[in-house]
Structures are given as structure tokens and as C-alpha cells.
Amino acid sequence: MTTSAPVIGVDIGGTKVAVGIVDGDGRILSQQRFPMIANSTPEAALQSVVTAIDSIRSVSISQTISAIGLCAPGPLDPITGVVVNPPNLPAWRSFPLAAKITEAYKLPVKLDNDANAAALAEARWGAARGYRYVFYATIGTGIGTGIVFDNRIYHGRTGAAGEGGHVSIDYHGPKCHCGKLGCIEILAAGPAIGVRAREKFSSGSRNSIILDLAKGNVDAIDSHLVGEAYAAGDSLAREILEETSHLLAIWLGTIVDLLDPDVIVMGGGVAAMLQPFFSDIKRQLPQWCVNSRASEIPLLMAHYGADAGIAGGAALVVST
């Protein structure tokens, strides 16, 4: 229980703004979703955020809001509150978002990238609650990660720390959109699962329902269909998800050897799909790190699902 006033958490994406009122225990008291105008002028994009905040404030008029926490895709600078140049927020280039929101609402405002913010929410209120050294990964279209020590996001020198999705486990590997080779994101995020599945079919017919789910069109196969097929007991889908899990175990070996975390938390749609393989990942992890006690580290599913951004934004500013 806490007596601190509720805050507003704002989750800014390329197509939507989700806002919520969040209390000091991380409970989302109310929430709303709005479209995000991300490819117009900086002002229009800002207006999308303001519209969302105004709306959630109007439904909670009886409550005193103590602060606003924003999260958005990076690159951004959490120290200055400036959105630098996120590919899916093209309207904003070196845009002082936190300053603009502070000006508009005269409240304390913080901004961080969505993975860092979600990591903090998990550490404060979610699956990693009570753990000191937290490694969090959200696995979906990409892989975003956050490092939280003692309920504080580890930012490093410039706020760019915790970019675990671009750890390369194979410097001869496929080229990531970031320019590096063999990043875990290009090997194990959602699109990689689709690529892996399509390759299976391209390299010969297989006894699998995945192709049926794609109505016979190999090009239509994506990670969602693989997940659907796995849920229906398809063995090729299982094989694909096992291969993906194996790569994640290798990657987590690096994380554990560098950070020796108290807990590993994974969220996002692909992590949810891979949850049946968490025990496989845990079993393989000790082979991929020198840490002799790696098997003791819990690997947990995130507490916040689609609301991770709202909770994350709130976690940035809630007082403890």
C-alpha cells in the first residue's frame, strides 16, 4: 500500500498513444487508446499525445495527478527528455518532448524508451518485484531490453545502455536492420520466426499445418501462424520455436555472464508464444555461460502484457 497520488503513464507508439492512470502500487485505474499522428509535423504528433493526456485527465477529474511519465521507441535521450530519431516516429527529430509536456501541464515529467520503462514497471510492481538486479526483455517485432538495479534504470553514459536486442551472437550472421550482423533481434524476434518458417517450406515440403493456415501461400507465413500451429500441436512449429529458444539461451548466456542478474523477465507477444519453452531455455542456459549458478536464476513471464507501456511510463515518475 502506498499513499502517493496517482500518475499518468503514456505509451507512445508509431500508430497509437495509450494512456492510463496508475496508482502507487502499479495498478492501472483507467486507460484509453488514441491514434498517433507520427508522420506529420512535430506539433501534430505532440497534439496526439496532448489529446490522450487531456482525455484521461478529464475522466479522472476527481483525482490529483502528481506526474506524467512517457515512454516511446528509441533512440531517445532519457536524461534530457529529447526524442532523437526513432524510425517509427518520423515527425520527431531531436524533439524536446518532456519539456513540451512539462510546459503544457506544469507537472513533473519523465521520458524513457519503452523497454527501459517496462523493465522498471516489472521491477517495481511486476514479475521482478523484490529482485535487486533485473534484466528485462520484450520480444515482439524487435527485441528491446532494460537493465534495472535497485529499482533504478541503468542508463550508462548517454542513456543508451541496455540495448540487449543488438547483442550479436554470430558476427558472421544475417544483417540486422541496425547494420550489425547476427544481432539476437534479427535471429529470434517475430520476423525471424517467420523467416525461419518460410525457409523450412522453401527447402522442401513439410508435414505441417502452418502452410494450411497461410492458405498455401508461403509468403504469408509469419510468427503468428507459427504460434497458432504450435498451439494446435504442429511439430514443425515446435521445431521452429525450439530453434528460436536455443538462440535466446545463447544470448542470455552473455547477459548472465556480464550481469549475473537476480531475475530475467521476458514480455511481449513472442515471449508469450515462447513461454512453453522457458524451461528449455533455462535448461540450456548453463551451457552458454560460465556462471556456475546460472540455473538458479528465475526466468519469468512479464506481469504487464499489452499495458507494459502505460505501467512503464508511470513507473518512471511514481514516488516510492
Residues in contact with its own copies by the rule CB under 8 A: 75, 84, 132-133, 147, 155-164, 166-172, 178-180, 182, 247, 250, 253-255, 257-262, 287-293, 297
Which residue number, 63 or 141, has a Cβ lying nearer to its own copies? 141
N- to C-terminal Cα separation, the chain: 10
Kindly state the smallest distance separating residue 254's Cβ from its own copies, in Å: 5
> Which residues are CB-neighbours of 307 under 8 A, at least 6 positions away?
18, 20, 28, 31
Which residue number, 150 or 199, has a Cβ lying nearer to its own copies? 150
The Cα-based distances of 201 to 142, 191, 195, 211 in angstroms read: 23, 16, 10, 8
Burial 146-171 (b: 16+ CB within 10 A, else e): bbbeeeebbbeeebeebbbbbbbbee
Give the span between the Cα atoms of 306 and 135, in whole angstroms.
19
Burial 29-46 (b: 16+ CB within 10 A, else e): eebbebebbbeeebeebb
Looking at residue 295, the DSSP 8-state letter turns out to be G
SS3 label, residue 70:
strand
Give the span between the Cα atoms of 22 and 123, in whole angstroms.
15
Which residue number, 84 or 99, has a Cβ lying nearer to its own copies? 84
Kindly state the smallest distance separating residue 177's Cβ from its own copies, in Å: 10
Kindly state the smallest distance separating residue 291's Cβ from its own copies, in Å: 5
Give the HSE-up count for residue 284: Cα atoms under 13 Å, Cβ half-sphere. 18
Residue of 106, 150, 147 lying closest to 132 (CA atoms): 150
Kindly state the smallest distance separating residue 296's Cβ from its own copies, in Å: 8
Kindly state the smallest distance separating residue 229's Cβ from its own copies, in Å: 26
Kindly state the smallest distance separating residue 121's Cβ from its own copies, in Å: 20
Asked whether the beta carbons of 218 and 248 are under 8 A apart, the reply is: no
Which residue number, 159 or 268, has a Cβ lying nearer to its own copies? 159
Which residue number, 179 or 216, has a Cβ lying nearer to its own copies? 179
Unique residue bearing C-alpha cell 519503452: 114
Which residue number, 258 or 272, has a Cβ lying nearer to its own copies? 258
Kindly state the smallest distance separating residue 180's Cβ from its own copies, in Å: 6
Which residue number, 35 or 156, has a Cβ lying nearer to its own copies? 156
Give the span between the Cα atoms of 136 and 261, in whole angstroms.
10
Kindly state the smallest distance separating residue 63's Cβ from its own copies, in Å: 37
The Cα-based distances of 304 to 27, 127, 182, 264 in angstroms read: 10, 8, 29, 14
Which residue number, 15 or 295, has a Cβ lying nearer to its own copies? 295
